[in-house]
Amino acid sequence: MSHVSSHSAHGQPPLRTVQVLGGGSAGSSAHVRSLAAGLVARGVRVTVCAPLEAERAYGFGDVGAHHLAVPRSSDPASVAALRVACADADLVHAHGLHAALRASLALHGRGVPLVVTWHTRGYAEGARAHLLRLLERRVARAASVVLGTSSELVDRARERGARDARLAAVSFPARRPERRDAEDAERARSKIRAELGAVDRPLLMAVGSLQRHRGYDVLLDAAHAWLGLDPAPLLVIAGEGPERAALQRRIETEGLPVRLVGRRDDVAELLPAADVALLPSSWESRSLLAQEALHAGVPLVATEVGGIPELVGNAAELVPYGDAPALARAVERILSDPARRAELRDRGRAQAASWPTEDATIAQVLSVYDELTGAF
């Protein structure tokens, strides 16, 4: 019997929590859905404050949570809506920096515990970098507990003044594709490769928003080296963002074997069709692509930055950020060595099996809630 159900059995009201989500990356949105489902199943009342589009994509209401549409904005109306939503909460749990800032404003003077899960790091330059540091400091100091999704984020929270920062247990949140037998899986793989234009050539895949910190410029530099391979592999990049036009210009001008396929909602189906997954970012915490790739047994080449080494262990090829020749060589090694591909496939699945389960994630969160509310 869980803490919560025994608490409810004594006739006390169930714990009331509000989960606050901002823009919400795929990883944090899926995490909140999984968390909401687990908490509701254990008798906790859950309200999810998130933009309407996040509810449409992730269906928090479908798992028994109450969804309240609150825009990502920090304007007074949004903060006021959040303040009303948190009026009878025993505890508020914010996901991401902007959500945490709004939650801290809404809770000002209330004495309600605030838990913050810090899913990733912000990216800013110049004056905006100074503002980001101030935001991080404000959030770290406002939180009763900060849960960081990588050791590096835990250290960062402590540097910014967090009273209590811990490593978050985060389960693999991807929506699993339907189970298929080997023949069906191979048919699906062939169909996707045909759709993407990689029938008789290796398929390389990267996924993520087209922003500077993602390192796609380095990936295009590496693609020059692959022009000399026979057949030249096709690199597919799934995602949208401000760098799209610049990347497309380079692809056309330099004659690179690269396709930008835009935002895709079927990454869990696309990825198993790839020969190699690529993650060239300047920084990552608990990369969803890295998790998807290892879980699917797809060899991964990633930059040795942030939380990546901790997440993947010895189950991926790691290269320095910004080193296009090293990235190109790592891919060529994998493509030319079937034994190495098989080894990475097996190691990837073993590493994925070592990540926290959904039950472990819920148990950690409940134990933090218990400490802060003394509810159970």
Residue with tokens 């059995």: 9
The whole-number average pLDDT for the span 67-86 is 88
What are the Cα distances from residue 203, in Å, to 90, 123, 285, 331? 50, 30, 25, 11
Q: Residue 178 — very low, low, confident or very high, per pLDDT cuts 50/70/90? A: low
Q: Residue 176 — very low, low, confident or very high, per pLDDT cuts 50/70/90? A: low
pLDDT in tens, 12-53: 689 999 999 976 677 788 899 999 999 999 999 999 999 998
User: Minimum mean pLDDT among 23-27, 216-220, 246-250: which range?
Assistant: 23-27
Q: Residue 238 — very low, low, confident or very high, per pLDDT cuts 50/70/90? A: very high
Q: Residue 2 — very low, low, confident or very high, per pLDDT cuts 50/70/90? A: very low
Question: Which DSSP letter does residue 158 get?
Answer: H
Two structure tokens written together for 273? 């069709």
User: Minimum mean pLDDT among 43-57, 66-80, 185-199: which range?
Assistant: 66-80
Contact status, residue 139 vs residue 121, Cβ threshold 8 Å: no
Q: What is the pLDDT of residue 77?
A: 84
For residue 6, is pLDDT > 60?
A: no
Q: Residue 168 — very low, low, confident or very high, per pLDDT cuts 50/70/90? A: very high
Q: What is the pLDDT of residue 180?
A: 64
Q: Residue 3 — very low, low, confident or very high, per pLDDT cuts 50/70/90? A: very low
For residue 361, is pLDDT > 50?
A: yes
Q: Residue 179 — very low, low, confident or very high, per pLDDT cuts 50/70/90? A: low
Provide the whole-model pTM: 0.88
Q: Residue 125 — very low, low, confident or very high, per pLDDT cuts 50/70/90? A: confident
Which residues are CB-neighbours of 141 under 8 A, at least 6 positions away?
Answer: 160, 161, 162, 163
Q: What is the pLDDT of residue 184?
A: 84
Q: For the chain, give every domain's residue range.
A: 3-171+356-371, 182-354
**CA 359/CA 127 separation, integer angstroms:** 42
Q: What is the mean pLDDT of the chain?
A: 91
Residue 272 neighbours by CB distance under 10 Å: 20
**CA 96/CA 293 separation, integer angstroms:** 24
The whole-number average pLDDT for the span 340-368 is 96
pLDDT in tens, 325-342: 999 999 999 999 999 999
Packing angle, helices 127-142 and 97-106, rounded to 10 = 50
Two structure tokens written together for 36? 């909401």
The whole-number average pLDDT for the span 138-153 is 96
Amino acid making up residue 242: P
Q: What is the pLDDT of residue 182?
A: 76
Domains 3-171+356-371 and 182-354 share a fold: yes
Q: Which residue has the higher pLDDT, 259 or 109?
A: 259
Candidates 176, 170, 260, 168; CA nearest to 214 is 260
pLDDT in tens, 283-327: 998 898 999 999 999 999 999 999 999 999 999 999 999 999 999
Amino acid making up residue 326: A
What are the Cα distances from residue 324, in Å, to 224, 301, 340? 10, 12, 21
The whole-number average pLDDT for the span 229-241 is 95
The whole-number average pLDDT for the span 226-252 is 96
* Exposure b/e, 14-53, CB count within 10 A at least 16 = b: bbbbbbbbbebbbbbbbbbbbbbbbbbebbbbbbbbbbee
Q: Is the CATH code 3.40.50.300 the one for domain 3-171+356-371? A: no
What are the Cα distances from residue 266, in Å, to 1, 186, 192, 270? 37, 17, 11, 6
**CA 294/CA 337 separation, integer angstroms:** 18
The whole-number average pLDDT for the span 270-289 is 94
Q: What is the pLDDT of residue 104?
A: 95
Q: What is the pLDDT of residue 186?
A: 86
H or E element at residue 251: helix 244-254
CATH code of the region 182-354: 3.40.50.2000
Q: In what order do the strands lie in the sheet with 317-319?
A: 258-262, 234-238, 203-207, 276-279, 300-303, 317-319
Question: What is the residue-wise DSSP string for 291-352?
Answer: HHHHHHT--EEEES-TTHHHHHTTSSEEE-TT-HHHHHHHHHHHHH-HHHHHHHHHHHHHHH
